[in-house]
Amino acid sequence: MKNGTTNVLIVGVGGQGVLLASEILIEVAKLMGLDAKKSEVHGMSQRGGIVTSHVRFGKKVYSPLIPHRESDVILAFELAEGLRWVGELRPGGKIIVNTQKIIPTLTTTGKFFYPEKAEEKIRGYSPGATLLDAYEIALELGNPRMVNTILLGVLSKSIDLEEDKWIEVIQRMAPKGTAEINRTAFLKGKEID
Amino acid sequence: MEMLLSGNQALARGIYEFGGEFASAYPGTPSTEILETIARFWKDDVYAEWAINEKVALEVAVGASYGGARSLAAMKHVGVNVAADPFMTLAYTGVGAGLILVSADDPSLHSSQNEQDNRIYGKFASVPVLEPSDSQESKDFVRYAFEMSEEFDTPVLLRMTTRVSHSKGIVKIGERKVAENKGFERNIEKYVMVPAHAIKRHAIVASRLEKLKAFAEKTELNRVEWKDRKIGIVTGSIAYQHAREAMPEASILKLGLGYPLPMNKIRDFASKVERLFVVEELEGFYEEMIAAAGIKVEGKKYFSNLMELDVDRVRKGFIEAGELDASVIMPSIETEPVLPRPPVLCSGCPHRGVMVALKKAGVYTNGDIGCYTLGGLPPLSQIDSCLCMGASIGNAFGIEKAGKTSRKTVAIIGDSTFLHSGITALASVVYNRGTTTTIIADNGITAMTGGQQNPATSTTLMGEKTYSIDLAELCRALGVQHVRKVDPYDLDETLAAIKEETNRDAASVIITTRPCMLFPKKVNGSPYEVDLGKCIACGACFNVGCPSISVSEVKNEKGKPKSQIDPVTCTGCSICAQVCPADAIARIES
Ligand SMILES: Cc1ncc(C[n+]2csc(CCOP(=O)(O)OP(=O)(O)O)c2C)c(N)n1
């Protein structure tokens, strides 16, 4: 938290919901009365590419991009992406990784391989990493669509924003009729370390 | 009220609030959301349309401005090249009501074929350039732009960049105020650019530029932030945000008006600091002008003209310049490299069948700009050139006329791109007795930029039903005698058509017709599966480059992996089944 700015890097693969997650986070920061910026490149993310979203909030935010190794928290929606971006974490920062795997099409060429033992490696770089199978937890809750909200619950433990503001924004952005399950999923995420 | 808006959304809001009445654009990343936002929220107040290309977008916006409406034309940076002809002379005629040309530049080529710096167009045409650095300014500068346009009788170039367009920040929202629309006022010497009039207008352009320079000296668009006087930084656009963060103690002259420069203000600023730097993205645009004015300045020596800047790149420049200690940058930790994820054609994308057929036909393929360009990446690797929108047809014709290439060549171009700038090239081929084969990959939409309507899609940006151009009839009308439609999901049919048409001694067009899988609606089909008993692990299905096909755990006797299909994402296009020599892929029986 350099100069009072909190930096959250959210990463994943096109279609996973990275942009919605960062949208919710920045709205929560705004609701707290903070200055906030976020940046991502849209472009070709829909076609299986890597998606990264930089979210920054605090008293006054200038650049919309987080400098190298100044991410206070990294939230990875996909395992290999967690490994790809773990080097952006600041010393003492927190990385949260959903262990879902999305195998890139390139692996079919036989020249590229999905990283082995990625979970161990991430822990090697960041012993305090939280790795979880959010999909499994969502199934336990009875709604596989809650992956996103569970991950935000986990994320909320590492940053200083109020719980009721989180829930307010998540419920505002959630599809009709899912307010309660979203709240449950968020609180479930908060229980995980 | 305050809202979180992207630069593009904020700019659109500015058009609404500050009395814009007319907006035209051709889609292109990172500019596309400007018009989409206007059409979505304010179409009752601001007319919004997709033009067939950027030249037309600017020309209609010019007409609307002559006609009394505050107007906008928006495009990506390379679009301004297409619109450059009207733009350069528009600088002479000036405007009716306020007219803004948005150029959304793409430093780092996130989704473009080059990273040209369009501030240079402003200088080229003697037109003022405004450069917002965040979302709030993206909205506010629309007001300045309209006012300057009307006060100085000039178009204004509002230059966005990807980071400004696509970053979100907090924006104060205001009410809409509409200016009076006086309609078109006849003025032959101003609007009819024949040499006798234009030469007088050129003199007006020169005197206008002097007035703009005087304006630049006093406008609040250019402001000084005094801090420590050891280092002074002249900066603008997104580079300002990076520089402010990287150099919290430095004094900054922040330019909102990037052309013409307030040279007296800069000279004064320079005289009060020990060392003057320019921090700007891409070309040394300010730096060259400042140096030419005889002011001692440093810039591109430390801040590269390639790729976008960020806080660390600015810090690195100042470390090299000896003004920062190397410890301000966090040393990297070495982590294991992870395989890349290049974008791929979607599952079921109709372009895949065409690419597979072209590969089988063994032809060279002059590509164009659209999703089909992704067919140039491995494993398909079937695109041999890609220059700019519309270039495929002319390129293929040129290779044919150059005469030394033994393999056949074809052009492949999407429906939107054909309409944008392929029609003229095809007419030229026919006129010059070419035998080029052009494939129009018609997926019924402008897909690459996110699914915009075009003149062949039967709806407008504002959602009205409209006439839809029949591409086959259009090609026949241009004089192409051999026009046929094929289904790109049928490999045999597509391959046969390619072979037949490339061997024909006349110009021909093959229109491959199938809807896009994402737009206007996501298509789900009935998925296929691999019978692992039959699969011989030959890899033929891997070579179609489908994201639904992956390596399975099961191997053949030589240890080569067999394939598997993800039933959730497979749309059932059947291309993999058609290339499978072992008949191992079939539709899942429900
Ligand atoms: C001059 C110019 N304008 C706009 C763009 C942005 N752009 C890239 S691809 C594309 C259109 C693609 O549509 P189409 O040809 O129908 O192919 P599809 O993506 O649908 O397959 C556009 C507008 C560009 N690259 N250059």
pLDDT above 60 for A43: no
Stretch B364-382: mean pLDDT:
96
Taken in order A145, A148, A154, A160, the sign of the CA dihedral is: negative
Query: CB–CB of B158/B140 below 8 Å?
Result: no
The rounded Å distance from CA B1 to ligand 1 centre is 36
CATH topology of domain B350-512: Rossmann fold (3.40.50)
pLDDT above 60 for A1: no
Question: Starting at the edge strand that comes first in sequence, how are the strands of the sheet with B22-25 ordered?
Answer: B47-50, B22-25, B71-76, B99-105, B156-161, B129-130, B257-259
Q: Which chain B residues contact residue A103 at CB under 8 A? A: 550-551
Contact B166 A46 (CB under 8 A): no
**What's the CA angle centered on B587, arms B585 and B590, to 5 degrees?**
140
pLDDT above 80 for B122: yes
> In this complex, which of B111, B545, B549 lies closest to A43 when CB atoms are compared?
B111
Give the model's pLDDT for residue A44: 61
Q: Exposure of B203 by Cβ count < 10 A (0-12 exposed, 13-18 middle, 19+ buried)? A: exposed
pLDDT above 90 for A15: no
CATH number for the domain spanning A124: value is 3.40.920.10
Instruction: Give me the domain span that covers residue A93.
Output: 5-191
User: How far B433 CA sits from the closest chain A CA (Å)?
Assistant: 38
pLDDT band for A2, please (50, 70, 90 cuts). low
Q: Shortest CA distance to A40 belongs to which of A59, A60, A26?
A: A26
- CATH class as words, domain B528-587: alpha beta
Give the model's pLDDT for residue B423: 98
The residue type found at B312 is D
Dump pLDDT digits (tens) for B273-310: 999 999 999 999 999 999 999 999 999 999 999 999 99
Chain-centroid distance, C-alpha A20: 10
Q: Do domains B2-218 and B222-327 have the same CATH topology?
A: yes
Residues 6 or more apart from A95 whose CB is under 8 A from it? A73, A74, A75, A76, A82, A86, A89, A122, A126, A128, A129, A130
Residues 6 or more apart from B61 whose CB is under 8 A from it? B22, B23, B24, B71, B72, B73, B99, B101
Stretch B121-142: mean pLDDT:
98
Q: Please give the C-alpha separations between residue A164 and each of A33, A183, B304, in angstroms, as whole numbers.
A: 14, 10, 46
Question: Hey, where are the domains in chain B?
Answer: 2-218, 222-327, 350-512, 528-587
Query: CB–CB of A77/A11 below 8 Å?
Result: yes
The answer to whether the pTM exceeds 0.95 is yes
In B330-469, at which residue ranges do the beta strands (DSSP E only) sit? 364-366, 409-414, 437-442
The three-state (H, E, C) secondary structure of B445-475, written as one string: CECCCCCECCCCCCECCCCCECCCCCHHHHH
pLDDT above 90 for A42: no
Contact A65 B546 (CB under 8 A): no
Number of domains comprising chain A:
1
Query: CB–CB of B421/B453 below 8 Å?
Result: no
Strand pairing partners for B278? B234
Peptide bond into B30 cis (omega under 30): yes
Dump pLDDT digits (tens) for A65-81: 999 999 999 999 999 99
Q: Shortest CA distance to B384 belongs to which of B357, B412, B360?
A: B412
Residues 6 or more apart from B249 whose CB is under 8 A from it? B227, B228, B231
Query: CB–CB of A122/A103 below 8 Å?
Result: no
- For an interface test with B, give the residue of A42, A107, A126 to mutate (most B CBs within 10 A): A42
The H or E element containing residue A163 is helix A163-173
DSSP B255: E
CATH topology of domain B2-218: Rossmann fold (3.40.50)
Contact A47 B343 (CB under 8 A): yes
CATH code of B222-327, in short, is 3.40.50.920
Helix (H, G, I), strand (E, B) or coil at B545: coil
**Length reported for chain B:** 590
The rounded Å distance from CA B82 to ligand 1 centre is 13
Taken in order A87, A88, A89, A91, the sign of the CA dihedral is: positive
Dump pLDDT digits (tens) for A119-141: 999 999 999 999 999 999 999 99
Taken in order B199, B201, B202, B203, the sign of the CA dihedral is: positive
Give the model's pLDDT for residue B153: 98
Q: How many Å is the Cα radius of gyration of chain B?
A: 27
Ligand 1 pocket: which of B77, B106, B369 to mutate (most atoms within 8 A of CB): B369
Q: Residues enclosing ligand 1, CB less than 6 A?
A: B 26-28, 54, 76, 78-79, 82, 369-372, 389, 414-417, 441, 443, 445-449
Put residue B152 in one of left, alpha, beta given phi > 0 → left and psi -120 to 50 → alpha.
Answer: alpha
> In this complex, which of B29, B343, B561 lies closest to A42 when CB atoms are compared?
B29
> In this complex, which of B169, B330, B550 lies closest to A70 when CB atoms are compared?
B330
User: How far B55 CA sits from the closest chain A CA (Å)?
Assistant: 23
Q: Which chain B residues contact residue A112 at CB under 8 A? A: 339-340
Query: CB–CB of B410/B363 below 8 Å?
Result: yes
- Considering chain B, what is the average pLDDT of its residues? 97
**What does residue B250 show for φ and ψ, rounded to 5 degrees?**
-80, 155
